[in-house]
Structures are given as structure tokens and as C-alpha cells.
């Protein structure tokens, strides 16, 4: 019996070619930023237990790793340094001979503009307190901290970084860093701020990887509460007023609403950081055979793009780029 239906949405799903033609959201390697950990004093690649397939690298391995990432056509890396010395004020974060500065110079001299070099600007790996700012009288001193964050950004710019990525969530960090960079004549160094970085339990595997667990208290006095979407939007708006180039929402998967809202409200590039806990959950379930890692990863990263992210910082960058290459 013929039934007349003018709406048959399944028509555009009848075969793969048609589905490809009408695909709305596409993930490409150009969407990916690959995080890289480099540790001072290390002699060989060292796995991170809570993040299978992720390693901390000695400086001697950095160029090999960047070559691998660049061969996969990933356009950018985000460097995190782990110093051998910590002190109260995080001095090792802005030394000319600091681990991240050395890594940046090495990558810049070997790759030039072939890959975008981004670097984390924060204090928690470098302070004995494990906090993202400088502790004074048992409190995180905002204005003292942004002076140091500015020194870190300028030292990274001197080493050749393309994009600095402040993640400390101190008030005024973007304008202070912009001013510092401009005064030191680094007008072309961009700022990708962790604008709405939430106080989240999704960061714990990273804290193992980067040795930056707070030694007292928590990060609730500076990171955004996950209950406050309006406040997250105020953080984004403030960073834009302060001259940020790219804003970031972090974490990604539980925060897709905020990625979408940021894209809808503001006319700036939006990045999403799919953090260590998101990665670890997928890896753990996949290792049990409970989910299919590649399919889940593909779906998660597409959902982050669908929400509105222009780029995704993800520990799946390399595996995802391999999948994209195999399927194209
Ligand atoms: C440090 C920093 C953290 C992350 C990125 N930069 C940890 C934190 O705030 O405790 C987390 C990234 C991840 O979990 O992948 N400021």
C-alpha cells in the first residue's frame, strides 16, 4: 500500500555517499591541538599511569615528537613544562633556561612556523604550594601572581612561542600579559586564555602528569564553579575586553552548553579543552572492552565541534588524526 508522506527525513540517510554530502559538522586535523609534556632532568620517555599512551618527554625527545605530530597534519601543540626545582614564587617558570623555554626554542629553531607553538602560562607546576598563583598569608595573591604570569609569557615569547595560554584564572591576567608582551615588542604573540576554566574533578590525571596538585586547599577561589554559567560568560566577556585573541572553555564534554553559548554570544574564536579526566574515562572503559575507543572518541570530538568549538585541545589529537587519515 502506498502511503503519502511529504516528510521523509530518512531519504538523506539511504547510503553513505548521500550521508557524506549532507554532513553538517566535519572534524578535520585542523581542529586539533596536541598537548605535550616536557620534563626537566628526564632521560627517557616516561608513561603517565593515569593517561594511557601519554608520556612525559625529556628535552632530547621533543623535536622527534613534534615531527610525529606535524606528520599527522596537526597544526598546533600546547607545551606544558615540569621543572626539577619548585619554590614559593615559581621562579623556574620564567627562567631563560627554564624547561619550557628550552623546549620552545628547540621547536622554533627546528620547525619555525610549520607548527603553531602554544604554551601553558601558569604557576602550579612551579610553586611548592601547587597553586596557580603566589601564596601570601595563606591566600592566593592575585596582583602579585599576574606580575609573574606576565614574566612567564614574556620569557616564552622571547623563546619563540606563537601563542601563550594563561590558565591560572587570575583576574586581569589577559590585560597584564597583553601589556607585557606589547612593551617587550611581541605584538604578534597571541593570547589564548583559559577564560572559563572550571573548578573540576576532571583534572586529576593531569595533576599526576604535571605534578601540580595543590598542597593545601583547592582551586575554588580562582576557578569558576560548574554551577555558574552566567559567571562563566562574564569571564569570557572580561577576557575579550582585556584583549584576548582566543577564548577557551574547559573542560569540554560536561560543558558543551557553555561552548555553544560562548559561540552564540561572542564573535571570537572559541577553543575547548577536552581534559585529562575525559581522556582517562574513555581509555579506562575501552581497556575493559566496554566501549569502542575510536568510535567514542570520534563522537565526542564531533559533539564538541557541533557545540561550536573552533578548535579542540585533546589528548586524542594523535589517535584522532590517524583515524582521519585512514578514513580519507
Ligand atoms: C594548570 C592546568 C591544569 C590543567 C591545565 N592546566 C590543572 C589544574 O588546574 O589543576 C588541566 C588539564 C587537564 O586535566 O587535562 N593550571
What's residue 1's pLDDT? Answer: 72
| Vertex 122: Cα angle to 172 and 168 (nearest 5) | 45
* Catalytic residue list contains 197: yes
Residue 172, burial from CB neighbour count under 10 angstroms (0-12, 13-18, 19+)? middle
Q: In the chain, what are the domain boundaries? A: 28-326
* Catalytic residue list contains 86: no
DSSP for 275-319 reads -HHHHHHHHHHHHTTSS-HHHHHHHHHHHHHHHT-SEEEETTHHH
What's residue 104's pLDDT? Answer: 98
What's residue 177's pLDDT? Answer: 98
Residue 227, burial from CB neighbour count under 10 angstroms (0-12, 13-18, 19+)? exposed
Atom of ligand 1 nearest to the CA of 212: 10
Partners of 127 in beta bridges: 87
Task: Please identify every stretch of the chain with a pLDDT value under 70, giving residue numbers as ranges.
Answer: none
106/93 Cα distance (integer angstroms): 17
| Vertex 47: Cα angle to 281 and 30 (nearest 5) | 65
238/100 Cα distance (integer angstroms): 28
- How many angstroms separate the alpha carbon of residue 328 from the centre of ligand 1? 33
Select from 3.30.2350.10, 3.40.640.10, 3.20.20.70, 3.30.2090.10 the CATH code of 28-326.
Answer: 3.20.20.70
Pocket mutation for ligand 1, best pick of 51, 275, 304 (most atoms within 8 Å of C-beta)? 275
18/307 Cα distance (integer angstroms): 23
What is the grid cell recorded at 189? Answer: 604573540
Amino acid at each position: 500500500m502506498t502511503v503519502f508522506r511529504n516528510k521523509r527525513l530518512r531519504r538523506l540517510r539511504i547510503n553513505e555517499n548521500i550521508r557524506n554530502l549532507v554532513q553538517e559538522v566535519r572534524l578535520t586535523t585542523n581542529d586539533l591541538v596536541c598537548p605535550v609534556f616536557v620534563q626537566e632532568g628526564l632521560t627517557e620517555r616516561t608513561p603517565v599511569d593515569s593517561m594511557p599512551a601519554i608520556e612525559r618527554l625529556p628535552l632530547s625527545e621533543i623535536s622527534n615528537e613534534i615531527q610525529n605530530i606535524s606528520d599527522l597534519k596537526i597544526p598546533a601543540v600546547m607545551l606544558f613544562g615540569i621543572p626539577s626545582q619548585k619554590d614559593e614564587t615559581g621562579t623556574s617558570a620564567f627562567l631563560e633556561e627554564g624547561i619550557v623555554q628550552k623546549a620552545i626554542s628547540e621547536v622554533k629553531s627546528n620547525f619555525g612556523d610549520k607548527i603553531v607553538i602554544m604554551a601553558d602560562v601558569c604557576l602550579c607546576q612551579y610553586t611548592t604550594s601547587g597553586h596557580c598563583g603566589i601564596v601570601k598569608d595563606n591566600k592566593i595573591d592575585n596582583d602579585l601572581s599576574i606580575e609573574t604570569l606576565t614574566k612567564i609569557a614574556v620569557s616564552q615569547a622571547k623563546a619563540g612561542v606563537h601563542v601563550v595560554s594563561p590558565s591560572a584564572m587570575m583576574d586581569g591576567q589577559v590585560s597584564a600579559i597583553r601589556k607585557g608582551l606589547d612593551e617587550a615588542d611581541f605584538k604578534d604573540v597571541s593570547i589564548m586564555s583559559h577564560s572559563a576554566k572550571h573548578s573540576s574533578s576532571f583534572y586529576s590525571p593531569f595533576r599526576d602528569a604535571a605534578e601540580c596538585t595543590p598542597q593545601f586547599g583547592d582551586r575554588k577561589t580562582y576557578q569558576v564553579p560548574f554551577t555558574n554559567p552566567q559567571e562563566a560568560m562574564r569571564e569570557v566577556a572580561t577576557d575579550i575586553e582585556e584583549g584576548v585573541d582566543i577564548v577557551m572553555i574547559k573542560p569540554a564534554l560536561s560543558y558543551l552548553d557553555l561552548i555553544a553559548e560562548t559561540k552564540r554570544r561572542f564573535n571570537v574564536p572559541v577553543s575547548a579543552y577536552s581534559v585529562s579526566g575525559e581522556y582517562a574515562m574513555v581509555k579506562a572503559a575501552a581497556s575493559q572492552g566496554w566501549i569502542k575507543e575510536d568510535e567514542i572518541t570520534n563522537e565526542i570530538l564531533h559533539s564538541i565541534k557541533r557545540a561550536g568549538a573552533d578548535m579542540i585541545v585533546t589528548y586524542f589529537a594523535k589517535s584522532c588524526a590517524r583515524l582521519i587519515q585512514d578514513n580519507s
